Amino acid sequence: MRRSHPLIAAVAYLTLAFLYLPLLGVAIFSVNEARRGLVWKGFTLKWYLKLFQNEWILEAAWNTLLLALVSTIVATIIGTILAIAMDRFPWRRRTRTFLDIMLHIPVVIPDIILAASLVVAFGVLRLVSSIFEPGLLNMIIGHITFQIAFVALVVRSRLAAIGRELEEAARDLFASNWYLARKVMLPLLMPGIVAGAMLAFTLSLDDFVISFFTAGPDSQTLPLFIFAAVRRGVTPQVHALSTLIMLATVVLVVFTERITRQR
């Protein structure tokens, strides 16, 4: 084992402290008795209890989950099919390049541009139907749009990794398209699909910009709630809410690592 130079270790520790101290601050003040200000007045869990009595927050939490779940399911299905379609058929080079660029657009452009173009697009679609009023549906559509790209990229790399020998063997044994998809491709692809879905889910929970641009008055999500709360001033309830979300993130990260490491 190599040892790292003390200076390197010192910088590394400071960097980690730089990442974690603010988060730790939030966690500490979430169990602080004081209602206003940031002076330590003793330990309490009442802010957490209050969270569960706050209808706004409960609704925002529900919206956040609903948004993440629905968009992840749709994006995972569409993204997986897209990845298979792109990878397993003899497309011409030009088609391939075009598809490739399209998939990378949401990954590389700043999300605010995607958000802006969605605002304008929904503005146009609103002329056709009123279901495109700002709200949860628009947010779901927006999330699916960037999630598809990530799911497809993850599944595609899995497709490349599993190779085509087993598919070829199945074909040689007269497997039909449907049988091949169900009994050979799907089980082999599952780790990739799950990884893609987890990525999509986390991206949805993580998103602020797309939601902020497409949300309506009744589709508050937790990040939007916190953003609005910060402008009104920091409160212990928001500390508690943020801490809970951080804990949920930790659980999600550890869980994802477990799944993806099993491969």
Residue closer to other proteins by CB (options 16, 45) is: 16
Could you tell me the end-to-end alpha-carbon distance of the chain, in angstroms, rounded to an integer? 26
- The rounded distance, in Å, linking the Cα atoms of 259 and 130 is 42
* Cα 215 → chain centroid: 17
- The rounded distance, in Å, linking the Cα atoms of 260 and 199 is 11
- Segment contacting other proteins by CB under 8 A, of 46-54, 129-137, 185-193, 204-212: 204-212
| Distance in Å, CB of 213 to other proteins, minimum | 6
CA distances from 195 to 6, 21, 65, 201, 202 (A): 37, 30, 18, 10, 11
Residue closer to other proteins by CB (options 43, 232) is: 232
| Distance in Å, CB of 75 to other proteins, minimum | 9
Residue closer to other proteins by CB (options 26, 44) is: 26
Count of residues touching other proteins (by CB under 8 A)? 101
Residue closer to other proteins by CB (options 7, 43) is: 7
Rg (Cα) of the chain, in Å, rounded? 23
| Distance in Å, CB of 61 to other proteins, minimum | 13
**15 in contact with other proteins (CB under 8 A):** yes
Binding mask 111-130 for other proteins (x = CB under 8 A): xxxxxxxxxxx-xx------
Residue closer to other proteins by CB (options 48, 212) is: 212
User: Quick one: which of 168, 179, 186, 255 contacts other proteins (CB under 8 A)?
Assistant: 168
Burial class (CB in 10 A: 0-12, 13-18, 19+), 148: buried
Tokens 């497409």: give the residue.
214
Q: What sign does the CA torsion over 230, 235, 236, 237 have?
A: negative
Of 141-160, which residues contact other proteins (CB under 8 A)?
A: 141-142, 144-145, 148-150, 152-154, 157
User: Quick one: which of 71, 72, 219, 242 contacts other proteins (CB under 8 A)?
Assistant: 242
| Distance in Å, CB of 50 to other proteins, minimum | 18
Q: Are 185 and 84 in contact (CB under 8 A)?
A: yes
**20 in contact with other proteins (CB under 8 A):** yes
Q: Are 242 and 61 in contact (CB under 8 A)?
A: no
**169 in contact with other proteins (CB under 8 A):** yes
**18 in contact with other proteins (CB under 8 A):** yes
User: Quick one: which of 49, 227, 255, 263 contacts other proteins (CB under 8 A)?
Assistant: 227
Of 28-47, which residues contact other proteins (CB under 8 A)?
A: 29, 37-39
- List own/partner pairs for 87-96 with CB under 8 A and 24 or more apart: 87/156, 87/159, 87/160, 88/159, 88/164, 88/167
